[in-house]
Amino acid sequence: MRIAISGANGRMGRMLIEAVLNQPDLQLSAALDRADSNAIGTDAGAFLGRETGVLISDDLSVLANADCLIDFTRPEATMMYVDACVQHNTQCIIGTTGLSENDKFHIQQAAEQIAIVFAPNMSVGVNATLRLIEMAAKLLNSGFDVEVFEAHHRNKVDAPSGTALIMGETVAKAWNKDLNDIADWARHGETGVRETGNIGFSVVRGGDIIGDHTVYFCGEGERIEITHRSNSRSTYAQGSMRAVRFLADKSTGLYSMQDVLDAA
């Protein structure tokens, strides 16, 4: 498969480029970045000391030469790339977080024309953790308070993280609830006693934390903690490689990483 990478000069973009170059069945065919990036016109493998022959570009028409785009950028850029993928009939892997409900609806519409894997976290470990959280939520559906904690680096601009949100949504769905109806997004001042059946969220931003997530099930006399810690962004890249292969025989449809894991 011919693969395009957006945000090619960013940390995640570079990790994705390296991952693609290390896969014998995948070919890097395009690398995209912002028009004002100082990497425009340079070889996509320059940071590795490798010459790939693929120059970083801001010209979306290069997607015509790709079977699939992997995008971990920002919401406004992601929407632009999704439209370009539809135009060029290019599949899409989306790991961008902070998307609005309108953005998500736009992705759903695009998936009627192209195949898309959309997941706030591409890590295989995180998606296995979601399965454990779902199981625990079904078993601990009364007598336990649920709190979702997440910590990320100081440069992350959205909160709670997409992964924390999907963890909360997993619990809410297991309880047959809508997360927006039972979420406590912040606490400050005189909050009163904790609301039974609500899901609380706590956020830390600092340093270079790649990503820590814990869901607490707090009962009387006992506490269960389900935790995932990311030590390297390479887990997201490796999950993306699995997602790319999953789409190899798909023409349309919107899929999650759970779909990718189920097909393994």
Give the residue among 61, 60, 54 at the shortest CA–CA distance from 73: 60
CA gap 20, 52 in Å, rounded: 11
CA gap 252, 264 in Å, rounded: 19
User: Phi, psi (5° rounding) for residue 114?
Assistant: -135, 165
DSSP strand pairing (145-152 vs 183-184): unpaired
Under DSSP, the state recorded for 53 is S
% helix, strand, coil for the chain, step of 5: 40, 25, 40
Task: Please compute, for residue 1, the number of CA atoms within 13 A of its CA located in the half-sphere on the CB side.
Answer: 23
Catalytic residue among 152, 177, 228, 250: 152
- Catalytic (active site) residue 173: no
Catalytic residue among 156, 173, 177, 188: 156
- Catalytic (active site) residue 156: yes
Active site amino acids: 152, 156
